[in-house]
Amino acid sequence: MSEPNKKEEAKKKADLKKRARKRAVPEGIAYVHASYNNTIITLTDPAGDVIAWSSAGASGFKGARKATPYAAQVAAENAAEKSKIYGLERVHVYVKGVGTGREQAIRGLVGNGIDLISINDMTPIPHNGCRKKKQRRT
């Protein structure tokens, strides 16, 4: 094999790896973690491998503005845009947390052309386990 053919062969292998990485994922899972301070949206394939993610902080919001519903919507739209490369169309949504961006993040996904298959609330609820923190004084 001559030297130019080896280079072409290596280039073809590199192109194949790139194409394999950009796989088609028509159906996936969306995890929305809404805390009091931030909202994080993670989009995965059915096996749980992350395709795209975004958060209110990564979308340019800082401080108290990260906790707003609008910031959650923008974060969801950013994550949905990133997932368009993979052809994501339908998702099962798992919501966790008590933040203000819960519903608005879901609306952001729907507004960007992603269909919802189901919505599950995964917020942890204590069944009288650990003692609660003392109430904050104002």
Confidence class of residue 88 from pLDDT cuts 50, 70 and 90?
Answer: very high
Overall pTM > 0.85: no
- Judge whether residue 21 has pLDDT over 70: no
Q: Which domains does the chain have, with CATH numbers?
A: 24-121 (3.30.420.80)
CB 113 within 8 A of CB 80: yes
Average pLDDT over residues 105-119: 95
Mean pLDDT of the chain: 89
Strands of 50-55's sheet in order across: 50-55, 39-44, 27-34, 90-96, 115-121
Average pLDDT over residues 45-59: 95
